[in-house]
Structure formats: C-alpha cells, structure tokens
C-alpha cells in the first residue's frame, strides 16, 4: 500500500516536472533553439571519488545524467545530439578500467534498443561514429545492431562517438578521398581516357591540379551524418576539446560549466541555450563568412 502511494507520488512529481519543463522550453523557444548540441561527458571518475563510490559507479551515474539530458534536449526540440563516449586516447587507461567501461557501454547499448527505451519513445536514430574496428567484437556487433534497429526512426538523431578522435577522423577522410580519387583515375584509365595518368603525372605545364577539395573531405568525415554542432558542452570546467569535433566546431559556441558530468541538470542546459541565443547573430554571421 505504501509502495503504491509512493509510486503514485513519484508519477505526480514526474508529471509536474514535465509540465514545468514544457513551460520553460516554451519560453526558450521564443528565441533560436540550437539544432545540434554535443556533449563531452567529463568528470565521472572525479564524481565517484568525491562521493566515495566504487570504481565504475561514476560512469553509471553519468549514464543516468545522459538519459536526462537527452530527454531535455529532445523535448526542447534539439534534433541532433552527439556525445563523446570513448576516445581512442582512453584506451591508454588501465586495462581493468577500459574493460569495465566497455562492459558498461555494451550493457547500455542493449538497453537503448529495447522497445520501451527512451530512444524509441522519442524516435531517435542512433549512429556510432569512430574507428569501430578498434572495439572488441561484442561491442562492435552491438553498435551495428543498434544502428540497424533504429534506422527507421527519424524524429531525432543521437551520435555516439566511440573509439573516436578528430585527428583519426581527418586521417580517415583523407585516406578515403585518396582511395576514391585512385579508383576514379583507374576507372578512367581502364576506359582509355588517360585522365588519371594526366592527374598523377601533371598537366602540360607540369603542375598537378588539386583534385581533393574540402567538400570531398567533409563527405568522408564520420560526423557527416549530422550538421555541425551549435554548442559543445564540456563539464568539469575543462577548457580543451580533447580531439573532439575539431573540424566541425569552427562556428560553434564552446560552453564549459564547472560541474561534473553526473551533476549536470536542466538549468545547465537552459543556461547554455541562453548563451547560444545571446551570441546567435554573431555566430550566424561568422558561419556565412566561412
């Protein structure tokens, strides 16, 4: 009986919270709402230390904070959310810690694609961005399953950067462009057109015409599935991007609240959006110029 009353109270509190959020988001929506927000979820381990929690518990608390932030973003009308889940640099951590993090990632990917999960509730399509071949087979297969399972969703997008760094992404794009140009040249050669050889050896003046342009590179970036972010939020007060979306963040507001990731809440998101709205015309002008 007590449990039933508790459940009902919990539901009422949730409805009230949802109602309050709708009101806040209605006010925010008077101004420009960011289309794409990216998160660097920094501070899970420090949170666990601060609260004297067991190893790995900080990341679990971080996951709960992530679910809340995704809910707030999609309710606000932010269509694209990108998160920095695991960097290639993180493989240098202690093996036990890497193993524990990978186990958590695997568990949470499986949770995400369940029928009743938030992902299906908000019609979220999931992408995994990064050098997935660096992941263990179970995690890689789970990621691929999640992408297939959500491929029919079209309301919002969640991009999870796993085994990702910007420098690896740029290298990958350069490699793909070179392969593409090679294949084009080889195809022309086989048809006898000879244009590929002309490209490789130079034209009549001995100068090599540039064949790869910025648009070709952008087509092959891991993050080509989404537009460039409007805001990158990094928690813990750290001021660097740590090799995250460097190519895509040219005209993006960088916001660095001092709280640890598991402590992030609605008001931090509201504050970030207000900061974005305050700088919107300046950022828009810079985007046009570039």
Catalytic center residues = 42
Among the listed ranges 9-17, 56-64, 139-147, 244-252, the one in contact with another protein (CB under 8 A) is: 244-252
Out of 68, 120, 153, 243, name the contact with another protein by CB under 8 A.
243
Q: 273 exposed, middle or buried (CB, 10 Å; 0-12, 13-18, 19+)?
A: buried
Out of 92, 204, 207, 288, name the contact with another protein by CB under 8 A.
92
Told to check if 94 binds another protein by CB under 8 A, we report yes
> Residue 73, Cα to own-chain centre: how many angstroms?
13
Nearer to another protein, 20 or 171 (CB): 171
Please name which of 7, 104, 32, 15 lies closest in space to residue 278, comparing C-alpha atoms. 32
> What is the nearest approach in angstroms of another protein to the Cβ of residue 193?
15
Among the listed ranges 19-27, 61-69, 118-126, 208-216, the one in contact with another protein (CB under 8 A) is: 208-216
Alpha-carbon distance of 46 to 165, in angstroms, equals 22
Please name which of 153, 54, 51, 40 lies closest in space to residue 100, comparing C-alpha atoms. 54
Told to check if 101 binds another protein by CB under 8 A, we report no
Interacting positions 247-286 with another protein (CB under 8 A): 247, 249-256, 279, 282-283, 286
Out of 175, 187, 193, 195, name the contact with another protein by CB under 8 A.
175
Alpha-carbon distance of 169 to 97, in angstroms, equals 25
Using only C-alpha atoms, what is the Rg of the chain?
22
Told to check if 290 binds another protein by CB under 8 A, we report yes
Nearer to another protein, 34 or 150 (CB): 34
Beta bridge partner(s), residue 36: 80
């Amino acid at each position: 009986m007590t449990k039933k009353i508790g459940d009902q109270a919990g539901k009422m509190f949730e409805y009230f919270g949802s109602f309050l959020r709708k009101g806040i988001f209605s006010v925010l929506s008077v101004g420009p709402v960011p289309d794409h927000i990216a998160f660097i979820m920094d501070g899970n381990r420090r949170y666990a230390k601060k609260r004297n929690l067991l190893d790995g518990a900080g990341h679990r608390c971080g996951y709960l904070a992530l679910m809340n932030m995704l809910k707030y973003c999609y309710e606000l009308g932010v269509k694209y959310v990108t998160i920095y889940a695991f960097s290639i640099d993180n493989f240098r951590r202690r093996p036990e810690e890497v193993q524990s993090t990978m186990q958590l990632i695997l568990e949470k990917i499986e949770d995400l694609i369940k029928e009743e999960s938030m992902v299906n509730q908000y019609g979220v399509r999931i992408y995994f961005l990064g050098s997935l071949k660096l992941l263990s087979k179970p995690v890689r297969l789970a990621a691929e399953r999640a992408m297939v399972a959500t491929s029919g969703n079209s309301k919002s997008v969640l991009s999870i950067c796993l085994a990702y760094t910007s420098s690896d992404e740029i290298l990958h794009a350069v490699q793909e462009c070179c392969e593409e140009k090679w294949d084009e040249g080889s195809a022309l050669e086989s048809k006898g057109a000879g244009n590929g050889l002309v490209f490789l050896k130079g034209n009549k003046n001995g100068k090599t015409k540039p064949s790869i342009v910025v648009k070709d590179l952008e087509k092959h970036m891991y993050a080509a599935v989404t537009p460039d972010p409007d805001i990158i939020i990094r928690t813990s007060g750290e001021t660097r991007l740590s090799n995250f979306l460097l190519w895509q963040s040219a005209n993006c507001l960088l916001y660095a609240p001092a709280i640890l990731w598991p402590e992030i809440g609605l008001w931090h998101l509201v504050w970030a959006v207000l900061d974005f709205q305050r700088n919107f015309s300046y950022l828009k002008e810079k985007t046009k110029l570039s």
